[in-house]
Amino acid sequence: MSTLITTFDTWKPTQSSNSSDDLIAELMQRKLLPRHTHLARNIPVDFQLAPEKVLAVVETLQPDLIVCCGMAEKRSHLTVEANGKHQGDILYTSILLKPLVEQTQTTTISHNTGRFVCNYLYYSVLQYIQLNQLKTQCLFVHVPPLNPGNLDAIVQDFSTILRLLQPVASS
């Protein structure tokens, strides 16, 4: 089973990094990514380029699971997003989120992916899956700014989520 994880680049000149990419770098360093994981890191924070780049990778890899990660500056813990919205249309992930977060320390479910590129990328990937009638599972995870006080819990929660999603995507 193959997994694609995406991360965003920074979007403000004052940012030295994006916490979504920092988290994946930490997981790589700790050797916590599942086998057959492919990465599309530092995706531009751009409404047109983000979906183009990610969907090009999806077409090439045809992963069983896609986990898109973005930064949520005002959140304090991981949040898994239930849906993506565009022009009044709402598309939901097919992943059952409640049992997923019940096995984490602090991760919660969000129904507000925002109104920026994170939301549009999620919507675009869910739409691509739907239009192409793929069995691919997709989840968007918002990552708060990382610090020594929350890093271990966030790494553990994200690792748990990835582990729990592996059998889902391969069944």
Which domain does 143 fall in, by range? 3-170
More confident residue, 124 or 14: 124
The pLDDT tens digits of the residues spanning 67-77 come to 999 999 899 99
Determine contact, residues 87/25, Cβ cutoff 8 Å: no
Name the pTM for this structure: 0.94
Q: How many domains does the chain have?
A: 1
Token pair 């994200």 is found at: 158
- Distance between CA 40 and CA 52 in Å, rounded? 12
Q: What amino acid is encoded at 113 in this protein?
A: T
- Consecutive H or E run containing 41: strand 37-43
Alpha-helix runs per DSSP H in 30-170: 49-61, 97-101, 117-131, 151-170
Q: What is the CATH number of the domain that holds 102?
A: 3.40.630.20
Q: What percent of the chain has pLDDT over 70?
A: 96
Nearest to 80 by CA among 166, 141, 123, 144: 141
- Per the structure block, which two tokens stand in for 105? 């320390």
